[in-house]
Structure 1
């Protein structure tokens, strides 16, 4: 422990209670020469009641400001801490904390108000008090460390920037520029410092957009960092559109899951291998010849051959079977995952339309109507087994005759999501 350094830090103006608390704790580890400091970030955070992120930030600031000097970088082995030394000359140059004065008797630094036994609190009736001013000592309020850190972070990282923090933000941004290795760093740093905090944030946020736009425009060379910053070229970019929400993992047979399933079924079959292969073509030709001959079917026909014979249209039968099995790969994947009780990442854009879905009892009449509608449209139905008791379908529109007009319910939902389907349908048609 270095009492001398600790005393200097107590008297110095360090900018915040968090910085002073950490500096004093570091001095507790140092020897009389300010050397030999290597506690872990976790230990410092625990003993100062600061977050590890705050400790790391303040340590980086002390290094940038020259108060600390890195002697050995840690992290090469588990639990290995970075070793620091204090720079005693930098500590000696720190500004002292503001002197407190009571406005009379010069600065006494007394911590007890003049008081008589009769007025032990130094109240205005105390003849020995100074101008009848009570010198009541107010203890600092006890507040949770996370609230204190949040308040101090606002004051330290807000509009009151320092040259060191501006330079750190520049060094963080600089590697994002593709030519920064051979660029003029000094000119770029000067241009960065001349921007307002809001402009610096916008410049960093739109860097990728600017580089993409330059590449899309056919530019073979990119301007220097300084030109981008000085001319504020990000302001010439079109306004950035709102980023759509990412997919949400939806549970099987729920509202969003079923809406995503129907949205895929509305598209034309787009799976691979939908044409007949040579074996299937020969099989279709065999059944067609059998139908044309009018002869009795041989006893050794397979079940598929018997079904094709009964269907009377072998090619259509095989194509229908292929479409049901392979036509919608996304639906197949969703239902395969559902058979293992796994959800599927579904687009949240469909959620506003899915909210109106209604639950349908499994194996009921309405459920049978939905199954029949799938068959009529040539769609695969829900997988057998492991179906829940209730499944979500589009809101039913009751038919005039009192039946279940599930076809109208589907068409209504199809119309609602037409804007969502349009770009995807074009993409599938091109890919087919």
Structure 2
């Protein structure tokens, strides 16, 4: 157990309570140099009370962010867990949390109903639970947003409430750091880039500039690629020179985006509209490590016979698939193919809505609620898999989620009905998708 590392992680801003809980539990296994972390996913899930999928997702995030280094893959003999080491330099870079100054009554009144979160939403009654809390007192005591879709939700009302919530938030060093960490992996060179220089450039921007830099990252990368550039500038250069401002202005629309609540009608319609696009994320090609891994499995396939006992779970799955390149590409597309969907899901984990195109609302109005974990919900999951799409991530899914309506008067299995519903919705929004493919991102 490393008390020093645990203390550093307790003071660090890791983005969520789940991430901090898992990081501290990992530190319990590490020595003073951050080495020797070995517990299985099942054990971490049991001891942190997180789902195994949550544990796997957070571990993957820690590896991607450089906080953890994989020393050996698990899944070999006796079901051993993957062995990790902490990157001590990465831990040292974590920004320590800063205590908020004690609030005076006058200051608290200026900041809303409580000074720490500066949430100015009014308390609610138990009959109309619209506050930022699971308690009848509304936003007091708790800051976890309730996502309880009503039978007939008002998208306009939800959008207005979300917009007020977004605009009323006061930026803090912690929120700026979280937004930087959210944006950083979208840059193709972030793994080998200077994170410190990029973080400093990010912090020097205004809130509006950070928002614009994040929103137009994809536009800049596409423009650079279309211009024949073989290399992309560093994150810091993009931010310092505000290169997104050199891009052509987006076409104006008569109506701006609407903030839609997670898993509601407009939110789900926007999600499907993005999934209808071909995968467009960065880094979808295989990197040198993945190519070597695929070559290793290809050689095993050519040799045939009983595979070695020390293969990792991923290697065994590639071997069973019979085409390691296709397997790795499919995995990358699921994880990276639709950055906007990933961003929507990331915000949904924090109970935040997403800016959605209002022109999709007429088609989304017909959406129907589906019970989570029911047979129809399983059919929607299966159809996502058939199309190679990522499904809704586990964690904070509400009991009821909106999906395109199933066709009436058709006697068929759920799988066929779901497929028909998606094809019909795709046809309905064809004009919207065509406008988006021409580069009108305000229609997206």
Q: Into which bin does the TM-score normalised by the smaller protein fall?
A: 0.3 to 0.5
Task: Give the structure with higher Rg (CA).
Answer: 1
After TM superposition, the score normalised by the length of structure 2 is 0.41
